Amino acid sequence: AQTVTQSQPEMSVQEAETVTLSCTYDTSESDYYLFWYKQPPSRQMILVIRQEAYKQQNATENRFSVNFQKAAKSFSLKISDSQLGDAAMYFCAYGGSDAGGTSYGKLTFGQGTILTVHP
Amino acid sequence: GAVVSQHPSRVICKSGTSVKIECRSLDFQATTMFWYRQFPKKSLMLMATSNEGSKATYEQGVEKDKFLINHASLTLSTLTVTSAHPEDSSFYICSARAGQGTDTQYFGPGTRLTVL
């Protein structure tokens, strides 16, 4: 079974600064997807960024980027120029490739990291 | 992006009663829907995977007779908590996927269930 570990229960950052959230996972599969989701106080899950394991290039989405180390099974999220609206709980998630190999099935989530942004 | 709704957003019920939660894909057909449970400040735990027109696949440790899942149409899945007890109080979230080859799951806003 796949496991996802987020070792930082809480993190804080000053507005406009950079913060990195850590995530490690364990799997025996070679094809899979990795995600970072944001859950603000509204509890709505918001996809921040995703990475396909077969892609060596790290994904980026505006101020959000990942450091994907496949051999080390590490998938960290870097938030640059942090904003007050970035404050939320962040979940790392693993999605195994489904039978067709073109998508992913169920998601396994890490424990979450609560990010506080100080003005 | 695609929209997934859940109804109700909050429900309070008495112990022993049954509660139905609906998950709808509003602008796409969802061949697969997933049901998660989340305790306060905790992670999402997958309860079951539901494919349209077939029986749901439950994760280990989830009582299928207690958490009844029906996915009768391509836009609607329901989760019924039968004979609810206070320990069933939680936040329930669904997600929906259009089908294989579509690599995005869209999450609903969640339903907070409180059992008195």
Q: How far apart are CA A38 and CA A33, in angstroms?
A: 17
Q: Is the pLDDT of residue A100 over 60?
A: no
What pLDDT, on a 0 to 100 scale, did the predictor assign at position A13?
A: 98
Q: How far apart are CA A38 and CA B100, in angstroms?
A: 24
A14-18, A104-108, B36-40: least confidently modelled range: A104-108
Q: How close does chain B come to A90, measured CA to CA in Å?
A: 10
pLDDT band for position A106 (cuts 50, 70, 90) = confident
CA-only gyration radius of chain B, Å: 13
Q: How far apart are CA A67 and CA B35, in angstroms?
A: 29
B103 touches chain A (CB under 8 A): yes
Q: How close does chain B come to A104, measured CA to CA in Å?
A: 6
Interface list for B 56-85 with A (CB within 8 A): none
Residues of chain B with pLDDT under 70: 1, 99-103
Instruction: Decide if A106 and B49 are in contact by the 8 Å CB cutoff.
Output: yes
pLDDT band for position A2 (cuts 50, 70, 90) = confident
Instruction: Decide if B105 and A107 are in contact by the 8 Å CB cutoff.
Output: yes
Q: Which residue has the higher pLDDT, A31 or B43?
A: B43
Instruction: Decide if A112 and B41 are in contact by the 8 Å CB cutoff.
Output: yes
What pLDDT, on a 0 to 100 scale, did the predictor assign at position A99?
A: 56
Q: How close does chain B come to A20, measured CA to CA in Å?
A: 19
Instruction: Decide if B34 and A106 are in contact by the 8 Å CB cutoff.
Output: yes
Instruction: Decide if A43 and B95 are in contact by the 8 Å CB cutoff.
Output: no
Instruction: Decide if B46 and A107 are in contact by the 8 Å CB cutoff.
Output: yes
The residue of chain B with its CA nearest to that of A96 is B103
What pLDDT, on a 0 to 100 scale, did the predictor assign at position B2?
A: 77
Q: Is the pLDDT of residue A101 over 70?
A: no
C-alpha pair distances (Å), B75 with each of A47, A79, A102, A104? 21, 35, 22, 20
* Partner residues linked to A66 by β-bridges: A77
